[in-house]
Amino acid sequence: MPPRSDDPRRDATGSRRGSSRGSEPREPGLGGISDARAYTPRGRTVREGGGAEQRRTPRSNRSGDPFRPALQVLDGGRAGRAGTREPVTDGARSGRRSTAAGGRAGVVRTVSSRPVREPFDDDDEDAPPPRRRSQPRRPAAQPRRPVRKPRRPPRLGDPRRRLRLGTVLALALFASIGVRLVYLQTVDTPAYADGGLPNRLAVVELPAPRGAILDRGGEPLAHSVEARYVFADPTRVKDRFATARLLSPLLGVPVSDLAEKMRKRTLPGTDTPLQFVYLARGVEIGTAKKIMALDLAGINVHRDERREVPGGDLAANLIGFVSQDMNGLEGLEAKYDDVLRGQAGKRTYEVGLGDLAAPIPGGYSRTTQPQPGSSLKLTVDRDLQFMTQRILAKQTAKVKGSVGAAVIIEVPSGEVLAQASQPTYDAANPTKVGSPADRDDAATTFVVDPGSIHKAITYGAALQEGVITPDTTFPVANTIVRGGVTFRDTHPADGRTMSIPGMLAYSSNVGTIEIAEKLGKDRLFDYQKRFGLGQATGEGMPGEAAGRLLPPDQWSGSAYGSVPIGHSVDATPLQMAAAYATIANNGTYVQPHLVKETIGADGKRSPAAAPTTRSVLSPANAAALRQMMEAVTTVDGPDGPATGLAAAVPGYRVAGKTGTGLRYDGGKQQPGEVGSFIGMAPAESPRYVVAVFVWSPGGGGGAVAAPAFREMMGFTLRHYRVPPSLTNKSPKFEVFPR
């Protein structure tokens, strides 16, 4: 018989009583709530009505629970024997339950043919019991084995703490980077910025426009015009020799010179490569365009200026010339170079390296604007200068190998209206000249022994000191001996009595020496200095010679004869012209000068310093001397014409003096002689003084000096529209009064 079931609601076959389906045969382990509860988690249900007291009841007394049979796990539909555990075969369903009196219910599983038992823990409703291997049930009296709870895994770090730590580290990193950037941008900026700056800098000079040289009417004698300069960057030139061969025909510079300029090198005292070098200055704009059309690497052009002399040789010996760098080399260009040149500017900027040698936008850039030079306004009249040069060239051409000088001074201002030299040169092309001496200004560098033109100084001093008067006469011998030297007259008087105008007309050496002896050497020496001899005039020309006077304590016996007639005296044509201008200016010496005013770049005019003046003769004595000197250009008696008759200007009264002297070069007397004539007109009220000097190795200068004076003075008077002396004729002079 099948075992009796403990569940009163089930029969021996395991079916529940009162069920319509209880009579149907059932497959073991299926159907019914009990079967469903047998598969609830941990194989148990909620106890009903048990309470704490029931939980304290021994397991053997819990069979009275009406739901207990339903919690029993049936094995194949058969009730297990109390206190025993039946083995479950491999085919038994996992999860079947078996019970034992007073024992603990459990589930026996077969896993890999090994029985495993899951204990039930009535006291622990939440935690699942650990699985146990299937083994024989211990006796009921055996104490319960403690259930081990699974070990908790080690507690991991708090993610929020890790997040906070990472945030702090990131902020600290960015803060340190920010501080460093601020430090670099504020504290170390100059050091880092300047560290590599020299390697990126390009410097371009901005030339200052040079001031012009103008004549008294504002017409340019020399001025600057726009041009181009050609420069090279040696660091970018690919083949300097090939480049030089292309540029040489256009610039007129030898290939070797251009190639040397384009050679790579560094700035003196540094490791910085040279990136700028001039190849040519003052290049015409058309030529510069041809160079740019070649598109040569490292070659470029920039705005420049070129000195232009419109008149070519007009006043060339006065003006001088400049170098390609616009530096004055000779003449007024050299004397006033600091005024004319101005102050050059400079542009310094950052450029890219390599082939990108272009200004860096926003990079370092500094520009110093050039300051244009001032202009010089001269006292020279370009029209008068032109005619003076033309006349001098024509007259000197008559004497082979001659050198000529001419000066025209305005009375009473002392302004030099014309100053010519022969030979001359083209100031626009100064290298094409026969001799460097041709570039000299003869009026200030031509040192001569003035000869008889010095006699006007001797007679003027004698008048002023009362040694003679305009009416003085005395016998004049043909010769006179002083210091063993015999001095003769070219127009012998044969012991006849001569007047002072007659002595001037025939240039008597003997009569002049006798007057000088009465004057005395000390007073004569003093008047030489008053008339401006022995010192440079300060006209404005560079290299002006000072001349030389023989001090009285150095006079030899012959000096008493040579000094009064203009020998043993060194002077320049300009000094002698200034002495005669003193006579023309009523006895007042006025320093001759060339510069009238300076005109700044802003148009501001600054007059030149006032010339030095001093009184030498009284106006009456100066007028008397001028009248006596008119005999030189008017006397034409039975004893022959006066020495200066060829210098007479028709329609005007002219007072002057001829001279024949010697030339000295480097302190040595040169062969030949110097012929000269200095005069003033109109003699009654002189307006202009003209001095002409002609030296020739073979002589004959005197034959052309007087005619040259006549032409120059005549043009000057007509040019300035001076009325002729028609109603005021020259007096009649008696050379040998009875």
Q: What tens digit of pLDDT does each residue of 473-519 get? A: 999 999 999 999 999 999 999 999 999 999 999 999 999 999 999 99
Of 98, 133, 168, the residue that ends a domain is: 133
AA identity, residue 456: A
Examine residue 668 and state whether it is found in any structural domain, yes or no.
Answer: yes
Looking at the structure, do residues 466 and 600 belong to the same domain, yes or no? Answer: yes
- How confident is the model at residue 1, as a pLDDT? 45
Residue scoring higher pLDDT (79 or 226): 226
Classify burial at 75, counting beta carbons within 10 Å of its beta carbon; exposed 0-12, middle 13-18, buried 19 or more. buried
Looking at the structure, do residues 338 and 284 belong to the same domain, yes or no? Answer: yes
Mean pLDDT computed over 47-65? 46
Examine residue 395 and state whether it is found in any structural domain, yes or no.
Answer: yes
pLDDT over 80 at 62, yes or no: no
> The dihedral of CA 13, 16, 17, 19: what is its sign?
negative
Looking at the structure, do residues 360 and 244 belong to the same domain, yes or no? Answer: yes
Of 348, 378, 408, the residue that ends a domain is: 378
Looking at the structure, do residues 444 and 527 belong to the same domain, yes or no? Answer: yes
Examine residue 176 and state whether it is found in any structural domain, yes or no.
Answer: no
Among 669, 501, 676, which Cα is nearest to 579's? 676
Least confident range of 508-512, 568-572, 668-672: 668-672
Q: What percent of the chain is modeled with pLDDT above 70? A: 77
The active-site residue, picked from 34, 402, 452, 730, is 452
Distant-in-sequence, close-in-space partners of 630: CB < 8 Å, separation ≥ 6: 501, 653, 654, 655, 683, 730, 731, 733
- Strands 375-378 and 213-214: what pairing? parallel
Task: Give yes or no: 63 in active site.
Answer: no
Examine residue 737 and state whether it is found in any structural domain, yes or no.
Answer: no
- Strands 220-232 and 299-308: what pairing? antiparallel
Ramachandran bin of 228, using left for φ above 0, alpha for ψ from -120 to 50, beta for the remaining angles: beta
**Over the stretch 246-294, which tens digit does the pLDDT of each residue have?**
999 999 999 999 999 999 988 888 888 888 898 988 899 999 999 999 9
- How confident is the model at residue 592, as a pLDDT? 97
Examine residue 147 and state whether it is found in any structural domain, yes or no.
Answer: no
Q: How many domains does the chain have?
A: 3
Looking at the structure, do residues 465 and 350 belong to the same domain, yes or no? Answer: no
Looking at the structure, do residues 91 and 69 belong to the same domain, yes or no? Answer: yes
The pLDDT confidence band at residue 332, using thresholds 50, 70 and 90, is very high
Distant-in-sequence, close-in-space partners of 546: CB < 8 Å, separation ≥ 6: 534, 535, 536
Tracing tokens 């000079």 back to the chain, one arrives at 205
- 651, HSE (Cβ side, Cα atoms, 13 Å): 10
Classify burial at 207, counting beta carbons within 10 Å of its beta carbon; exposed 0-12, middle 13-18, buried 19 or more. buried
Distance CA 159, CA 322 (A): 87
- How confident is the model at residue 316, as a pLDDT? 95
Mean pLDDT computed over 38-52? 46
Examine residue 339 and state whether it is found in any structural domain, yes or no.
Answer: yes
Q: Is the pTM of this model over 0.95?
A: no
The CATH number of residue 460's host domain is 3.40.710.10
Classify burial at 660, counting beta carbons within 10 Å of its beta carbon; exposed 0-12, middle 13-18, buried 19 or more. buried
Distance CA 639, CA 373 (A): 61
**Over the stretch 422-473, which tens digit does the pLDDT of each residue have?**
999 999 888 888 788 899 999 999 999 999 999 999 999 999 999 999 999 9
The pLDDT confidence band at residue 133, using thresholds 50, 70 and 90, is low
Looking at the structure, do residues 607 and 494 belong to the same domain, yes or no? Answer: yes
The CATH number of residue 233's host domain is 3.90.1310.10
Domain that holds residue 411: 383-719
Looking at the structure, do residues 568 and 703 belong to the same domain, yes or no? Answer: yes
Of 110, 133, 156, the residue that ends a domain is: 133
Looking at the structure, do residues 636 and 702 belong to the same domain, yes or no? Answer: yes
Looking at the structure, do residues 353 and 427 belong to the same domain, yes or no? Answer: no
Looking at the structure, do residues 356 and 404 belong to the same domain, yes or no? Answer: no
Examine residue 187 and state whether it is found in any structural domain, yes or no.
Answer: no
Report the chain's terminal Cα–Cα distance, integer Å.
212
Mean pLDDT computed over 344-362? 75
**Over the stretch 207-227, which tens digit does the pLDDT of each residue have?**
788 999 999 999 999 999 989
Looking at the structure, do residues 395 and 448 belong to the same domain, yes or no? Answer: yes
Element (H, E) at 302: strand 299-308
Examine residue 218 and state whether it is found in any structural domain, yes or no.
Answer: yes
- 420, HSE (Cβ side, Cα atoms, 13 Å): 33
CA 507 distance to own-chain centroid: 63
Distance CA 237, CA 230 (A): 14
